Structure 1
C-alpha cells in the first residue's frame, strides 16, 4: 500500500488523545518552546489531555495539526501544522516543531514535503509561507534546503527573553515546489 502521508523516515498522522503525555514531555523543553513560538506557563496533565482531545477532534481539510511519527520505531517526534489559511488568495502558513532530541535526523526534511504535496497537489493552494525567528539558524537553513525563498524580515517583531526579535519570512509557490518534488505519477 502507498500512502501520501508516508515518507522515507516519517509518517504524518492525526493527533490522538493518548498522545498527550508525549506532547507534555516535549513542552518541558523551554528552548524548543521558544524556537517554535514562546514559553508558556507549565500546563497541567488535565490541560494537556484536553488539548490533545480537542486537537484530535478539531480539524478541517485546510487547517490542522498532524503528528510526526518515525517509521523505524513509531516514535512521536513532533508536529507539522497549517495556519492562517487564505482560500481566496490561495496561500497558507505552515509550522513544524520537533523535540530537540529529534533534530538533524532528516525528519523535518521528510515531513514538510508530505504536507506541501497535500496542500499544493490536493487542496489547490498556490503559496506556502513560513515565519522563522532570525536567531534560529537551523530553521533558517531548513527553509532554504526545502526550497523556500526569503521574502522579507519583520524587524523587532516579537518580544521574548527580555528583548525584541526579528522574524524572517519565507515563501514557496506550488510550481516551485513541483519543480523540486514532482507530484506522483501513479494514480
Structure 2
C-alpha cells in the first residue's frame, strides 16, 4: 500500500494521548529544548498528559498541526514534526522537527521533513517552506541544507538565552527546488 505519510523508516501519524511520555522526554534535556528555543519550567506528568490529550483531540490538518514521527520497525515514538505560520495567499509555511536523542543520526528528521514537504507542496498547493535555525545548531543547519534549503538571511543577536544573544539563520526551499530532488507522488 502506498501512503503519503510513510517513508522507508518512519511514518507520520496523529498525536495520541499515550504519546505524553515521548513529548515529556523531548523537553527533559535543556540543551535540546534550547536548540528549539523552547526552554520552559518543568511541567508535571499530568500537565503533559492533558497537553497531549488536548492535541490528540484536535481535528487533523488546518493552519497549523503537529504529527508524531514513529519508527516503522518498532512503532517507537521518535519525535514530532510541526507545520505552522501558514500564509495561503503568499503560498508559504514554516516547519520544524524534534527528534529524541536515542533516535538521532538515523535519517528520521530528514525523512519526516520530506514527507511534510511533499504533502504541503503536492496536496496543499504551497510554494515555499521556511525554517528558522539558531546559528550554533550545526546539526539542524546541515539537515536543512541537505534537504535543499537555501540560506536566505540571518537575524543578528535575535534570540536571548543562556546569558547571551544568538543569531537566527533563515532558510527556505521552494516547491520547484523540492521536486527537482524528489519524485512527485503518484496517483496510484
TM-score exceeds 0.5: yes
1:85 maps to 86
Q: Which moved more, 1:28-37 or 1:162-171?
A: 28-37
Post-superposition shift, 1:68? 0.2
Between the aligned partners of 2:131 and 2:142, the Cα distance in structure 1 is 13
> What is the number of residues matched between the two proteins?
187
TM-score by length of 2: 0.96
Post-superposition shift, 1:63? 1.3
Structure 2: stretches of 5+ with no match in the other structure: none
CA-to-partner distance for each residue in 1:70-129, whole Å, 9 max, x for gaps? Answer: 011111010000111111111000000111221111101111100000000000001000
Post-superposition shift, 1:38? 2.5
2:140 maps to 139
2:41 maps to 41
Indicate conservation of the 8 Å contact 1:62/1:119, yes or no: no
Between the aligned partners of 2:63 and 2:9, the Cα distance in structure 1 is 24
1:32 maps to 32
Between the aligned partners of 1:169 and 1:25, the Cα distance in structure 2 is 27
1:11 maps to 11
Between the aligned partners of 1:141 and 1:116, the Cα distance in structure 2 is 17
1:127 maps to 128
Post-superposition shift, 1:25? 2.0
2:55 maps to 55
Between the aligned partners of 1:45 and 1:185, the Cα distance in structure 2 is 43
CA-to-partner distance for each residue in 1:51-77, whole Å, 9 max, x for gaps? Answer: 101111234334100000001111101
Indicate conservation of the 8 Å contact 2:79/2:99, yes or no: yes
TM-score by length of 1: 0.96
